[in-house]
Every structure is written in structure tokens, then in C-alpha cells.
Amino acid sequence: MMHDWSPDELEEAAALAGTTPCFLYDEALLREQVRRVHEFPAPYGLAPRYAMKACPTRAILGILREAGFGIDASSGYEVERAVRAGFPPSAISLSSQEFPADFAEWVRRGLRVNACSLRQLDRYGEAFPGSSVGLRFNPGVGSGGTAKTNVGGPSSSFGIWHEKVPEVRELLARHALTVERIHTHIGSGSDPRVWQKVAHLNLHLVAAFPEVHTLNLGGGYKIARTGEETATDLLRIGEPVAAALREFARETGRELRLEIEPGTFLVGNAGTLLARVHDIVDTGDDGYRFLKLDAGMTEILRPSLYAAQHPIRLVPRAGGRPGELRPLVVVGHCCESGDLLTPAPDDPEALAPRLLPEPEPGDWCLLGGAGAYSASMSAKNYNSFPEAAELLYTTDSRWRLIRRRQTLDEMLAAEVVS
């Protein structure tokens, strides 16, 4: 799955970045996923949105904008970032935990909003009485991979709880609002039966609001980072959704447009973190052998946070040979025992050595599946390490710097020295 770059190509990438670590995004893989998303079956029209929090770098946003995607934004800052990257506000949908103070200004410029709580709905209605709005519901079930990625059900604060339709109606009446869109995002994974259930729960909500013309099912389409994981087949999970939409149209005469908002599915496997092995230490005969990188939680937090499993490939420098296979624990460069890149799959604190060819210090270490929630969701500047550079490996097999490495001056620029 990871691109098979040669030691020379890696050398070239690191030279362009100035130094390791850096992120490498494979444009061809990204475009392949774009094509798959466009194939999602939708009998009455599909509007794909990119959940930009997965990887909001401008060059990535540009590729998705050209491919006809809109944006799912999670904050007012993301809205502004997408606009600066060339998206018109009308192509952006905001579903946020923290309603931006200036939301009304953006709505006047075309932003679409999903009210994600009763209070958000009230504020929207006060600002725009007599208009229409989207609603994000928590349909009462979720299916994220871990408690931290589960975004539906009673232990999730996202969206309006599905039993609160009467309270919603009261607010709609108070502000003369109509509902144009129903949105849920529960991290539904790769099982078509779960998607069928999600579609039915959503259509139940749509039935309660006669003006709704768009159903938004959010994101959460899983990818396979390692051989043990199952990737989502969008055609397979889309089928029961499309069937439910057709049935709804037959029964009610309402032909709903479908929106989906993938993040991980688009960029997850397109990104690789390139690091160098800095040191190798061990803790004796009954201990472990540790491989220390020049990267870690400052670039990728997912292993420490979710016990996420990322493929690791060690590549000797040009002219070097791969070493003997040994169980190795891979750790990051932060002074923090949680900075662990090979946790056990069910416990972010447990060390799970991997059988890897023992490298020499200076060899390359590639961490795959690092395109989504990696550069965008790291322990930035911890231990005062600067943010890593990002490179695009273009479809004509060239490296392009799309974000240069942060400097120490930039890190300190906001400090007030009196």
C-alpha cells in the first residue's frame, strides 16, 4: 500500500524538506480514492465533501476542490482556511462543537450550517429568522473503532439527541425556520448492515421534516492501514443506502440528494511519515530492544491516542543492507513514555514489539497510513520540535514541497517579551 520509494528517492525528498521527519503524500493514491468516492451510489445526486480536519494543507484542499468536492468544516477557522484555499463559502458545510462567534457573517456569504445542538439552533434562528437550516442529529447508535472515535450513541456529545425532535420543533416554530438537511456522522465503518441501519434511522428523522431535500451521512469509511484491517467497499455499503433512498422516494415522493463527508478514506493511506532511525537501545536480556526515530507524537499521535496500528517499513540508506529480523519496539523522540509507535492493538500503553529488519542509525523508517489525522492532529511543538514539512509525490513522479518545515523563530513569534 505504501509507495515503494527507492533510497535515492527518499534522499531527494528529505533534501527538499531540509531534514526528516517529513510527510509524503502520494497524489496518485489520493486521486484513486477520489474516483471511488465519486462512484458512491446515489439515485438522486451525490455531493461529496472532504472532511478537511483529516489533512487541511492547501495543496491537498486544491486537489479536492478541482475534483469537485465541497468541504465539511469543524470550526470557523477551518471555514476561513477553506475559503483562503479557493472554496466559495457556499461549498462549505459547518458542523461544529464550538459555534464560531462570526457564523452569521459567513452564512451571509453563503456558508451552510448544520446546527449541532439546541442552543446552536436557537442562535441560528435568532440571526436568520424565516430561513432554512441543517440539523445534525445523534441517532442513538455509533460504531467508531474505539471509544475515542465513536461519535454516536448516548456517550457521544455530537449532534442533537434523536429524542429531542419536540424541542427542535419548538425552536423551528419560534424562529419560523425550515429544515433543509439532516446530518449524522457516527463513524459507521465498513459493514453494509450498519449503513443500512444508519440510512433507516436517518430517513426516519427526514420523514419528520417535510422540507428536507438533502441527507448527509457524514464520514467514517474505514481504510485498511495494515493487512489485518478491512477497507470499506463504498459500492457495497452504498447499495443499501441507495435502496433505502429509492424506497423513501416511492413512499413519499421525496427524492433526496445525498452528501457524504469522507476524511480518512481519501487521505489516510495516501500519506506516509518519513523519519530516520536515530538510535537503538536495549533494556537487557529480559527487556526490549528500542528503535528511536527523529519523529513521534509531534507528527503522529494516533498510536498513543488510539493504539492505532500503522505499517512500518525500514529502508537502508543507499548501498546499505537490511539487517536480521528482530522484535523491535519503535518509539518517538519526545521525553514521554507515551511516545510509542508500536503499541498493542488494544492498549496504547502496552509495548508490542514488531518483527523488523534491524536497521543502522541513519536508515529510513516509513510509517504508512499517516495521511489523515497525523500532520493535522499531532502534539505540535512538544519538546519544541518544529512542525514537519509536507511533500506531494505528484502523478508524474516528482517531489513537490507543499509545506516547509516550521522554524524556531516561527514557533516563538507569538510570545510576548516584556
Helix then strand count (H, E) for the chain reads 12, 20
Rg (alpha carbons) of the chain, rounded to whole number: 23
Smallest gap from residue 260 Cβ to ligand PLP (A): 8
405: left (phi over 0), alpha (psi -120 to 50) or beta: beta
Smallest gap from residue 97 Cβ to ligand PLP (A): 9
Give the Cα separation of 44 and 179 in Å (integer).
19
User: Are the CB atoms for 388 and 23 separated by under 8 Å?
Assistant: yes
Smallest gap from residue 244 Cβ to ligand PLP (A): 20
Catalytic residue list contains 116: no
Give the Cα separation of 197 and 215 in Å (integer).
14
86: left (phi over 0), alpha (psi -120 to 50) or beta: left
Q: Which of 22, 334, 335, 365 is catalytic?
A: 335
Residues 6+ apart with CB under 8 A from 250: none
Cβ nearer to ligand PLP, comparing 144 with 332: 144
Give the Cα separation of 87 and 108 in Å (integer).
15
Cβ nearer to ligand PLP, comparing 240 with 268: 268
Binding residues vs ligand PLP (CB under 6 A): 51, 53-54, 72, 74, 95, 185, 187, 218-221, 261-265, 372
Smallest gap from residue 269 Cβ to ligand PLP (A): 12
Cβ nearer to ligand PLP, comparing 26 with 78: 78
Smallest gap from residue 220 Cβ to ligand PLP (A): 4
Residues 6+ apart with CB under 8 A from 5: 13, 24, 315, 366, 393
Buried b / exposed e along 247-270 (16+ C-beta atoms within 10 A): ebeeeeebebbbbbbbbbbbbbbb
Cβ nearer to ligand PLP, comparing 145 with 327: 145
Cβ nearer to ligand PLP, comparing 20 with 120: 120
Give the Cα separation of 187 and 222 in Å (integer).
8
- How many other C-beta atoms lie within 10 A of the C-beta of residue 44? 17
Cβ nearer to ligand PLP, comparing 147 with 325: 147
Smallest gap from residue 98 Cβ to ligand PLP (A): 13
Under DSSP, the state recorded for 340 is: B
Query: Strands 289-293, 354-357: parallel, antiparallel or unpaired by DSSP?
Result: unpaired
Residues with a known catalytic role = 335
